[in-house]
Structure 1
Amino acid sequence: MRRTLHPLFVMLASITQQELARQVAYLKKENEILRARLPKNIRTTKSERVQPLPAGSGLLQIRTQQFQPSR
C-alpha cells in the first residue's frame, strides 16, 4: 500500500512546489512594478526598520534544517 501511495504524494508535493514558485514569481513582478512608482529615497523610522525582523526570524533556521543530512 505504501508503494502505491508514494507516487501520489510525490505528484502532490511537486504541484505544491510549482504553485509556490508561480506565486513567488508573481510577487516579485508585483514588487518590481510597485517599486518603480516609489521615489528614489525613502526615509524610515527605527520602528519601521525593526518590524520585518520578527516575521522573518525563523526563516533561516527552517531553511538550514531542511538541508541538513539525516543521521
Structure 2
Amino acid sequence: MIATADVGRLAAQLLQEKYQGRRVVELEAARRYTPNDVGATFAKILGRPVQTKAVPRETWGALFKSQG
C-alpha cells in the first residue's frame, strides 16, 4: 500500500531526470500493512466489524468484471 501522492511525487521527480534506456523503479511505503491491518482500520473508521478474506488470484479477473 502506498499513497497516491507519493506515487505522483516520485513520478514527477522521475520525469524531470535525464535518463536513457530502461530502468525499473520500485516504490514502497514506510512500512508494510497486512490485510488484517487494513481491515482493522476500516472497522475503526466504519464503527463496525470488518472481516478480511483472501481471494484466489485466478478468480480476480472474473470478480473485478462482476463488480463493474
Note whether the superposition's TM-score is higher than 0.5: no
Q: Shorter-normalised TM-score: what interval? A: under 0.3
Q: Which has the higher helix share?
A: 1
Q: Give the structure with higher Rg (CA).
A: 1
**Higher relative contact order structure (alpha carbons within 8 Å, sequence separation ≥ 6):** 2
